[in-house]
Structure formats: C-alpha cells, structure tokens
Amino acid sequence: MRELNVAAGSHGILSRRALQELSMLQARLRRVSGLRRTALRILLASRPVTTALAQREFWLDFFRLDQEYRAAVRRLGKFCAAHAEPVAEVPLRRVAGPKR
C-alpha cells in the first residue's frame, strides 16, 4: 500500500495531531489488510483438505477480518473527506466518440 503524500499539491499542511491520526489509520489498515490476506489464503488452501467444520471456522475468521478491513477503509475515507481541501470545479468537456 502506498503512503499518502500529505503535502503534495496542497496549499495547507495537516496539523501534527492530524498527521498522527493519519499515520495510525494507515498502520491499522496495513495490519488488518495483511491479516485478511493471510486468512483468505488459509481459507482457499484448506478447502479441498479440511472438514466442513474446519472450513466454517476458517470462513468465520476471514469474515471477521474482512469486516475489520472494511471498517478501517471507511475510517480512513472519512478522515480523508474531513481533511480534504476544496477543489475548484473543472468544467467537463464532451469527448467525441468514434465516427459511424
């Protein structure tokens, strides 16, 4: 996962507290993402060789981590939306399609 470049192209810089919060959110997302990826690999690798009960346990582990991952993504998205700078409206121009 790429790091966010906080000051790139912006006029303002985040406060120290906001940078700490951003760093914490990114670290949480990275950690949960790795755990989720590992749980998915275990789930997929175990499917042909484990019992139905074991598969259910692996599925529940993955499902829980997937929910944590989604929550971490939402938190990071909310942070970015709350700290976003207003962007000037850019007029859209129509692109001509292929001639028929």
What dihedral angle (degrees, nearest 10) is formed by the CA atoms of 14, 17, 19, 24? -150
Going by the DSSP 8-state scheme, the letter that residue 34 receives in this structure is H
Q: Which region among 3-17, 34-48, 54-68, 80-94 has the lowest average model confidence (pLDDT)?
A: 3-17
* Residue ranges of domains in the chain: 16-82
Whole-structure pTM value: 0.70
Residue in the structure block whose two tokens are 């700078």: 85
3 state DSSP class of 84: coil
Whether residue 13 is predicted with pLDDT greater than 90 in this model: the reply is: no
What sign does the dihedral 76-34-61-20 (CA atoms) show? Answer: negative
